[in-house]
């Protein structure tokens, strides 16, 4: 199979996971990396056996067909727009953009240029959630009625090397971790129709206790605790809570409740995890085996899926429309809280196609 050559812009904390994940697919080759700090790009390139380029050089390289955009959230749209203008497809780290307006502009620009736009997370393509999708589709819990999704803990200022952006516009628990949970719910249940939410900023200032910025104080400019409900077109209602303010919890990640049973879904930030089901009349939960592979993927399966789509013409799963729908839902929590009313979603997307079972590792199509 001819390799699709990839470029990466942004050599921060997550770049290693993309080298690991993309390296599992013989269809991909990361040719070059770039960063606004050239020394950082050089270090990553040296460690991974690829080229270090300037951003302009990378965008001008005719061999590079897909660019992975790993910049910070507030410049996701700006950088992705440059990639699209260069005639290349782009896979953004989450979120797709900070504002709805920028998200819409990206989709329109990609369509006009005839290139593809994708977005993390691609964890829903891992064996954990794909197995849960198959269990639901095969009727193990009947018709889905409701769901619970919780990501509650304390913020990243105690471990992340550069955590300020988590507390600025485009950050917070909803924009940082919400994409994993909302994307998983869309993959499991389909698109949403309505959101109701309440939000707050609990601590107006955060103290960084990680290195190298130990002792720096950060003004909080985005909600750090959000709770609410999401209504889905299929009829299911999800209760969602996202928080950087909680010291400890015993809550599950995601549970799906159906007419014939309940399903415990593994952490949507991971590709594998433990899957449990309890059907009507059962005395206890039962752990379920994986029906799909890719249970320890790293990152990059969504990029590989886009590369397959470019070659065959089929849709890719971690697509821009789905990412925009997630962006719309995330904004709607705060919109609902600020307006004291439900928010009817203007966006929608297709439920992503499940992966086939029995795939050879490193391949995504039968």
Give the confidence band of 297 by pLDDT, cuts at 50, 70, 90. confident
Residues 166 and 232 in one domain: yes
* pLDDT, position 198: 98
199-219 pLDDT, tens digit each: 999 999 999 999 999 999 999
* pLDDT, position 298: 79
225-242 pLDDT, tens digit each: 999 999 999 999 999 999
| Cβ contact 95:179 at 8 Å | yes
CATH number of domain containing 143: 3.30.360.10
* pLDDT, position 169: 86
Domain-located, residue 46: yes
**Domain that residue 273 falls in:** 125-287
Q: For 136-156, what is the mean pLDDT? A: 98
Q: Could you tell me which of 59, 89, 55, 95 has the C-alpha nearest to residue 75? A: 95
The dihedral sign for the CA sequence 22, 23, 27, 30: positive
Residues 96 and 110 in one domain: yes
pLDDT at 191 over 80: yes
Domain-located, residue 137: yes
Residues 55 and 96 in one domain: yes
Domain-located, residue 355: no
64-79 pLDDT, tens digit each: 999 999 998 899 999 9
pLDDT at 366 over 80: no
Q: For 16-41, what is the mean pLDDT? A: 97
| Cβ contact 65:310 at 8 Å | yes
Domain-located, residue 328: no
Residues 257 and 193 in one domain: yes
Counted residue by residue, the chain has a size of 366
CATH number of domain containing 15: 3.40.50.720
pLDDT at 195 over 90: yes
Q: For 302-316, what is the mean pLDDT? A: 97
Residues 118 and 129 in one domain: no
* CA distances in angstroms from 287 to 2, 122, 145, 265, 273, listed in the order given: 40, 24, 21, 11, 11
Q: For 318-334, what is the mean pLDDT? A: 98
Number of domains making up the chain: 2
* pLDDT, position 2: 85
The dihedral sign for the CA sequence 60, 306, 121, 365: negative
19-29 pLDDT, tens digit each: 999 999 999 99
Residues 263 and 145 in one domain: yes
Percentage of the chain beyond pLDDT 70 is: 99
Residues 234 and 203 in one domain: yes
Mean residue pLDDT of the chain comes to 97
pLDDT at 179 over 90: yes
Residues 313 and 225 in one domain: no
| Cβ contact 348:201 at 8 Å | no
Residues 141 and 273 in one domain: yes
* pLDDT, position 133: 98
pLDDT at 13 over 90: no
Domain-located, residue 357: no
Give the confidence band of 254 by pLDDT, cuts at 50, 70, 90. very high
Residues 131 and 261 in one domain: yes
| Cβ contact 122:302 at 8 Å | yes
Domain-located, residue 173: yes
Domain-located, residue 311: yes
Domain-located, residue 14: yes
Domain boundary among 265, 287, 309: 287
Residues 41 and 188 in one domain: no
Give the confidence band of 170 by pLDDT, cuts at 50, 70, 90. confident
Residues 249 and 208 in one domain: yes
């Amino acid at each position: 199979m001819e390799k699709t050559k990839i470029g990466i812009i942004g050599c921060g904390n997550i770049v290693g996971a993309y080298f690991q994940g993309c390296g599992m697919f013989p269809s991909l080759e990361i040719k070059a990396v770039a960063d606004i700090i050239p020394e950082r790009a050089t270090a990553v390139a040296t460690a991974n056996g690829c080229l270090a380029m300037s951003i302009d050089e990378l965008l001008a390289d005719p061999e590079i067909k897909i660019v992975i955009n790993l910049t910070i959230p507030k410049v996701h749209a700006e950088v992705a727009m440059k990639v699209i203008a260069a005639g290349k497809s782009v896979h953004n780290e989450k979120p797709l953009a900070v504002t709805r307006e920028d998200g819409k502009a990206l989709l329109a620009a990609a369509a006009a240029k005839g290139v593809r736009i994708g977005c993390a997370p691609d964890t829903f393509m891992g064996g954990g959630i794909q197995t849960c999708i198959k269990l639901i589709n095969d009727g193990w819990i009947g018709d889905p009625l409701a769901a619970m999704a919780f990501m509650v803990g304390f913020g990243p200022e105690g471990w992340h090397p550069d955590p300020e952006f988590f507390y600025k516009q485009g950050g917070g628990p909803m924009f940082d971790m919400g994409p994993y949970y909302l994307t998983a719910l869309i993959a499991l249940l389909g698109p949403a129709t309505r959101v109701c939410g309440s939000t707050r900023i609990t601590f107006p200032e955060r103290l960084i206790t990680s290195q190298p910025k130990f002792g720096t104080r950060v003004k909080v400019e985005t909600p750090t605790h959000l709770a609410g409900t999401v209504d889905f077109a299929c009829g299911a209602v999800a209760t969602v809570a996202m928080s950087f303010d909680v010291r400890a919890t015993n809550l599950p990640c995601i549970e799906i409740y159906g007419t014939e049973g309940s399903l415990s879904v593994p952490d949507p930030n991971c590709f594998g995890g433990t899957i449990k089901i309890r059907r009507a009349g059962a005395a206890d939960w039962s752990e379920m085996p994986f029906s799909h592979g890719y249970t320890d993927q790293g990152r990059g399966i969504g990029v590989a899926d886009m590369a397959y789509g470019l070659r065959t013409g089929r849709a890719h799963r971690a697509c821009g429309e789905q990412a925009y729908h997630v962006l719309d839902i995330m904004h709607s929590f705060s919109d609902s809280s600020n307006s004291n009313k439900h928010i009817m979603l203007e966006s929608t997307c297709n439920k992503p196609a499940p992966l086939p079972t029995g795939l050879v590792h490193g391949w995504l199509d039968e």
